Structure 1
Amino acid sequence: MSQTIDTGAVPDYPQLLGHPRPLWMLFMTEFWERFAFYSVSWALALYVVAQFYHGDPAGQGWASGIFGAYTALIYATGIFGGYVADKVIGYQRSILIGAAVMAAGLFTIMLPSKPMFLLGLALVIVGDGLFKPNISSMVGQLYGKDDPRRDRGFTLFYMGINAGAFVAPLFTGWLAAHFTDTPMQQNYKLVFAAAGIGMVLSLLWFWIGRRGLRGVGRPAPGAESRLRVVWVLAGTALAVPVVYGLLSKIGPDGLQWLLGLLFVGVAAMLVVEAVRHDRVQLHRVIAMLIIFAFNVLFWMFYFQLGTSFNFLAQNLVDRQMFGGWEFPVGWFQSVSPLAIIVLAPLVTLVWAGLDRRRMEPSIPRKFGFGLLFNALGFAVLTYALSSLLDPRGLIPFWPLTLCYVLQTVGELCLSPIGLSMVTKLAPPRLVGLAMGGWFLSLAVGGNLSGLLAGRISGESGMTAASALSGFTFSFWLLAGAGVVLLLVAPLINRLMHGVR
């Protein structure tokens, strides 16, 4: 917990393009971290099938489970990272340690044995837990609590996330396709090497630029001792084998129970802290937790991009372009971040224009729209799989592309808004923990996504029939949840007591 949070004081930063200058440093730090993360994300499940199953589609189930567990733990560890920053060493030191551990893990997953691969994933997970929630929390600390630019600052920061996510599949997908004289599993290792270099750049960018923060994110008074850093490093060293065990032993089904218990624990801590304040703070925490539950559903289906959508693109989509050139599988995952880069400024202008007319949708309504747009993406895929299969059993290129765009519109309705929501609704002394709770809701959705993708692939790999069944289920559940949230939005708005 930094002194800035305690006092509510915000340094008088120099401004750049209408926002505090440090926002742009955090923007680029997050850009390189997301470059690393999304480089791994698009290649991970495909690499598992190629390296450990020699390309056999029967490996899709285990690959999906590992991807889901990896994604879940990436976000779940944010709870502990947020608490470490709040209570132990501050945000800046947490980010630096996390970046270093992540870089080590990204280089480790290049090693060809399954145990070393899982060890590398464990390092990435633990490091990202220290990094991800805390850099997001620092964005909120650059603005006063009632600064109207806060939501727009988070949306710009979210563009940094998606700029990294856009470049990563294009560049590393080109790497994987360019080295054609080597087996694909070797090419995927080049992807992981590029991700490791990107994480080193993120670490250096923050190390050099952190002075411009003017003390924001530093340890609280009385917590400056470097001995605390030593204890955090020791805890990190102990956490890595624990996460390794979760990946290799407990499996996604057991992990789902563990994540559920963790979510209940975080919710209880936030409620207890809110009770110490007043009834208004308690109501705001309850509203935040309700939205977290709907957030789980959004990401359960959105994270199909790393598993079932990848297998769909690889095996059931006609990717032949002009002149016989084949569109790389990984490049599909640049569609969403490109759409965000294009659409995020427009969405920001729309929200600002509606706000001037007192017509801007409330936070829960924006989340409801997000769920409905996600559902529309699956509606397009179910139409293609039921009506557009060619004699080779392939669907056209455009439905998967359009699905990504529609999901992106949904993401813009809720994800950057969610980050800002946490900083406005959370108890002031536990903003980092609440941000960890936000990422825990993504974790639960991520693990469920792996379980769903494993069921779609089954024991012998994805087929058009199994994909149609799974995506139809996805559409109906998302559409139903979106309608329910729109209906209960007035109740949630009352619980938020004026926060918009």
Structure 2
Amino acid sequence: MWKSHPKALPYLFLSEMWERFGYYLMIGVFTLYLKDVEAGFAMTEKEASDLYGTFIALVFLTPFIGGLVADRYLGYRKSIVLGGLMMGAGYFMMGIHSLTMLYIAMTLVIVGNGFFKPNISTLLGNFYSTDEYRDKKDEGYNIFYMGINVGAFICNFFGAALQILLGWQYAFMAAGIGMFIGVVVFLLGTKHYTGFDQKKGTQEGDMPFYKIVLFILVPSVVFGIIGWFLKGVQSEVNLDSSIFGSDSTDAFIFACIPVIYFYASLYFKAKADEKRPIGALLSIFAVVILFWAVFKLNGSALTTWADRYTDRQVTGTTEKVFSTLVQSKEITYAKAETELYDEQFRLQKENGEVKKTIDYPVYFRNVAPEKLPEEGTKISVWATNLSQSINPGWVIILTPLIVAFFTYLRSKKKEPSTPTKIAFGLLISALSVLVMVAAVNIGSNGTEKVSVWWLVANYGIITIGELFLSPMGLSIVSKLSPKNITALMMGGWFLSTSIGNKLSGVLASMWDTYDDKANFFWVNFGLLMFATLLMFALVKNLNKVMREKGIN
């Protein structure tokens, strides 16, 4: 696999694998930690989802500035190392149980990812800009993407074991160690980056950095503050009078306005030969926002589904395997406790209240009566955050198959263009949501737990869509971006991811407002189908732009 690719690929693959090990370990336990009433912060579902959505949104917003700084001043290698060190320190600090330290840690991760994420993807793309490797760019990004998901798959087993045995802080420490290993691996490959890590400096026509600070960053902060304090109409479902559901969402949306304006200005001020490629990228960025909005529910709504509505009991050989790996924990059935929860839940719904002391429903409250154990019986259940490994597990399994599939089509000269792959990725992702609609109906709208295979099937289908879309997005940015703003446009891809992530948090925060959970998933299906139709409408023009650039 490696022989036909640049020598730097294994180092970038492994460093990204360890970086994602740390990031997804942290994400896998983040909302569970926030909602833990004993060792966490006892947040409600809405509070945790809102903070989660804001966090992952900002994590993918900072690549805009990180890519720009790398392009002009630091170069890619220094930016990647700096970002990795900041993220590692942030993960360690998350283990300190203090709300202030949590926010400081989140800030380090947010800024660090801004330096790391766009620049390692751009550095990889630089190696495939030569004639020797140009035709293998999509394949190279698929292999790189598999590295991301190897880290994302294995991390949750470590996270579950450490959290069960030692506590939340040790899980976060493991994330930090993983990040630091990623930095070391990246540095070991330094000699292979020569000639591809050159910073491009400020080019003619580029907006000076001080103007970006004055006209983009400062206005973003000001707009964010305005969004935080600006109020809408108060109602029974909008007690804090926010405009878009919460003060943090208002602040984020307003803060994005100057950044979006900046990217629009790149199009209007571009040279004639660069205008159409930039326009093509911006249109793709706009469409894929809706994909990320649904896909990133894995860390919020789908984690809630795994926690509350999925049968997580393990027995027999499976129980022995999980117990050996310390991925399961024992819980005792107490009928009185279950009935007490049901009564509290009924009262809080009648009174429109959310009681932080009962964020975690009793496991047995929606187990079918015939499946309930005897009073006082202990059962073993697998840790909720292991559901986060289903998607990356599918990526590892499916990536070689999809790479082989497109390689075969290429040999027959029938390989679809990158925009066409993205369009089909959106369609396939939309179909995955129908699996969850079926799961809700099978479980009688949450009154009975359903098999984990519904989650496995949902993740399997959306993973195919993801592999058609996400690595292809990284590839097309590298193909179409003007050379002097490649990392900046990579930051634009992550900006769309950021906005989608925040929208994902908004969607997840509404989970409890849907009495019929199927309607929650029908909304997601509608969003993805709308994005699919938009993308197919754009494909013809996007393909034309790519032909003009002489690329596929």
Tell me the TM-score normalised to structure 2 length: 0.77
Structure-2 change in CA distance of 1:457 and 1:435 (3 Å): same
C-alpha contact 2:25 2:171 (8 A) present in aligned 1: yes
Structural RMSD (CA): 2.8
Give me the whole-angstrom Cα distance separating, in 2, the residues matched to 1:176 and 1:100: 23
> Secondary structure of the residue that 2:419 maps to in structure 1?
helix
Match of 1:413 among 468, 490, 496: 468
Task: Report how far residue 143 of structure 1 moved.
Answer: 2.1
1:152-167 equivalences under 5 Å are 152-167=139-154
Give me the whole-angstrom Cα distance separating, in 1, the residues matched to 2:120 and 2:397: 24
C-alpha contact 2:294 2:524 (8 A) present in aligned 1: yes
C-alpha contact 1:151 1:420 (8 A) present in aligned 2: yes
Give me the whole-angstrom Cα distance separating, in 2, the residues matched to 1:175 and 1:466: 36
Give me the whole-angstrom Cα distance separating, in 2, the residues matched to 1:161 and 1:134: 15
Match of 1:29 among 5, 8, 15: 15
Structure-2 change in CA distance of 1:434 and 1:408 (3 Å): same
Structure-2 change in CA distance of 1:428 and 1:456 (3 Å): same
> Secondary structure of the residue that 1:19 maps to in structure 2?
coil
Structure 1 counterpart of 2:295: 302
Match of 2:525 among 475, 486, 490: 475
Give me the whole-angstrom Cα distance separating, in 1, the residues matched to 2:74 and 2:470: 27
Structure 2 counterpart of 1:489: 539
1:312-331 equivalences under 5 Å are 312-323=305-316, 324-331=379-386
Is it true that 1:256 corresponds to 2:253 in the alignment?
yes
Match of 2:91 among 100, 106, 121: 106
Match of 2:190 among 210, 219, 227: 210
C-alpha contact 2:64 2:488 (8 A) present in aligned 1: yes
Q: Which of the pair has more CA radius of gyration?
A: 2
1:62-461 equivalences under 5 Å are 62-146=47-131, 147-179=134-166, 187-219=167-199, 251-272=248-269, 275-276=270-271, 278-279=272-273, 281-323=274-316, 324-389=379-444, 392-458=447-513
More relative contact order, 1 or 2 (CA 8 Å, 6+ apart): 1
Give me the whole-angstrom Cα distance separating, in 2, the residues matched to 1:33 and 1:489: 33
Residue type of the alignment partner of 2:518: L
Residue type of the alignment partner of 2:545: L
C-alpha contact 1:40 1:192 (8 A) present in aligned 2: yes
- Residues 43-81 of structure 1 deviation map (CA, whole Å, 9 limit, x = unaligned): 11111111589686x611111111111111111100100
Task: Report how far residue 42 of structure 1 moved.
Answer: 1.0
C-alpha contact 1:456 1:466 (8 A) present in aligned 2: no
Number of equivalenced pairs: 455
Give me the whole-angstrom Cα distance separating, in 1, the residues matched to 2:512 and 2:93: 28
Is it true that 1:39 corresponds to 2:19 in the alignment?
no
Structure 1 counterpart of 2:342: none
Residue type of the alignment partner of 2:140: G
Structure-2 change in CA distance of 1:270 and 1:192 (3 Å): farther
Residue type of the alignment partner of 2:287: F
C-alpha contact 1:270 1:430 (8 A) present in aligned 2: no
Structure-2 change in CA distance of 1:51 and 1:342 (3 Å): same
Task: Report how far residue 390 of structure 1 moved.
Answer: 8.7
Structure 2 unaligned residues grouped into runs of 5+: 204-209, 211-216, 230-246, 317-378
After TM superposition, the structure 1 stretch with the greater mean CA deviation from structure 2, 206-215 or 32-41, is 206-215
Residue type of the alignment partner of 2:458: C
Structure 1 counterpart of 2:329: none
User: Percent identity between the aligned chains?
Assistant: 34
- Residues 101-135 of structure 1 deviation map (CA, whole Å, 9 limit, x = unaligned): 11111111111111110110001110110011000
Residue type of the alignment partner of 1:364: P
Give me the whole-angstrom Cα distance separating, in 2, the residues matched to 1:154 and 1:202: 18
Task: Report how far residue 145 of structure 1 moved.
Answer: 4.8
After TM superposition, the structure 1 stretch with the greater mean CA deviation from structure 2, 206-215 or 329-338, is 206-215
> Secondary structure of the residue that 1:148 maps to in structure 2?
helix
After TM superposition, the structure 1 stretch with the greater mean CA deviation from structure 2, 362-371 or 445-454, is 362-371
Give me the whole-angstrom Cα distance separating, in 1, the residues matched to 2:228 and 2:307: 26
Task: Report how far residue 349 of structure 1 moved.
Answer: 1.3
After TM superposition, the structure 1 stretch with the greater mean CA deviation from structure 2, 427-436 or 94-103, is 94-103
> Secondary structure of the residue that 1:314 maps to in structure 2?
helix
Task: Report how far residue 445 of structure 1 moved.
Answer: 0.2
Task: Report how far residue 16 of structure 1 moved.
Answer: 4.3
Give me the whole-angstrom Cα distance separating, in 2, the residues matched to 1:96 and 1:297: 31
> Secondary structure of the residue that 1:326 maps to in structure 2?
strand
> Secondary structure of the residue that 1:17 maps to in structure 2?
coil
Give me the whole-angstrom Cα distance separating, in 2, the residues matched to 1:339 and 1:124: 27
Give me the whole-angstrom Cα distance separating, in 1, the residues matched to 2:228 and 2:165: 32
> Secondary structure of the residue that 2:84 maps to in structure 1?
helix
- Residues 249-286 of structure 1 deviation map (CA, whole Å, 9 limit, x = unaligned): 951222023224412312322552xx32x34x311111
After TM superposition, the structure 1 stretch with the greater mean CA deviation from structure 2, 91-100 or 366-375, is 366-375
Residue type of the alignment partner of 1:48: L
Give me the whole-angstrom Cα distance separating, in 2, the residues matched to 1:386 and 1:95: 46
After TM superposition, the structure 1 stretch with the greater mean CA deviation from structure 2, 260-269 or 386-395, is 386-395
> Secondary structure of the residue that 2:36 maps to in structure 1?
helix
Residue type of the alignment partner of 2:16: E
Give me the whole-angstrom Cα distance separating, in 1, the residues matched to 2:524 and 2:171: 31
After TM superposition, the structure 1 stretch with the greater mean CA deviation from structure 2, 248-257 or 484-493, is 248-257
Give me the whole-angstrom Cα distance separating, in 1, the residues matched to 2:107 and 2:202: 32
- Residues 80-115 of structure 1 deviation map (CA, whole Å, 9 limit, x = unaligned): 000000001111111111111111111111111111
Residue type of the alignment partner of 2:119: N
Is it true that 1:499 corresponds to 2:551 in the alignment?
yes
Give me the whole-angstrom Cα distance separating, in 2, the residues matched to 1:145 and 1:386: 52
Residue type of the alignment partner of 2:194: R
C-alpha contact 1:72 1:445 (8 A) present in aligned 2: yes
> Secondary structure of the residue that 2:75 maps to in structure 1?
helix
- Residues 132-172 of structure 1 deviation map (CA, whole Å, 9 limit, x = unaligned): 10000000111235511111111111111111111111221
> Secondary structure of the residue that 2:128 maps to in structure 1?
coil
